Amino acid sequence: MRNNIIAIVAISFATVGALWGIGNLINPESEVDLPVEDILLVAQRSTFNETNPDVYVPVNVPTKLVVQNDDAVTHDLKVDPSSNGGITPINTAPLRGGQDFLTAIVASKPGTYEYYCSYHPQMRGYIISH
């Protein structure tokens, strides 16, 4: 009985190992080689990244966006629907100090779109898709 259990466990490990190996052959780590960088916007002293920078994203390539609130006060980040329909709206919902939110910037047309904090009018910048 005990030998049977040991044999089953050994076969299970062998199977998992084989599947793992095959998976790596089919799906190598370097499968995606796009010049896309993740974007981090940190709300601090009521700015995003000190300068409310322009954010450049490629059209039709979703770009990972993390919004992090390092202030004591609540911030959010919103992108409204655009008149040309070229960007997916974003709304992080209110973020308290220390909270962050993971989302994506998805632009389907070239354009300039505003991002902003709905609590602080000076916290605004542009997403430029190209």
Contact positions vs Cu ion (CB under 5 A): 75, 117, 119-120, 123
Report how far apart, in Å, the C-alpha atoms of 76 and of each of 57, 97, 106 are: 20, 11, 18
Rounded distance between C-alpha atoms, residue 41 and residue 117, angstroms: 11
Nearer to Cu ion, 92 or 129 (CB): 92
Residue pointed to by tokens 């980040």: 77
CB of 121 to Cu ion, least distance (A): 9
Closer to Cu ion at the Cβ: 115 or 129? 115
Least spacing, CB of residue 55 vs Cu ion, in Å: 17
Q: What is the DSSP letter of 96?
A: -
How far apart are CB 39 and Cu ion at their closest, in Å?
17
Residue pair 101/59 in contact (Cβ under 8 Å)? The answer is: no
Q: Which CB atom, from 58 or from 94, has the smaller least distance to Cu ion?
A: 94
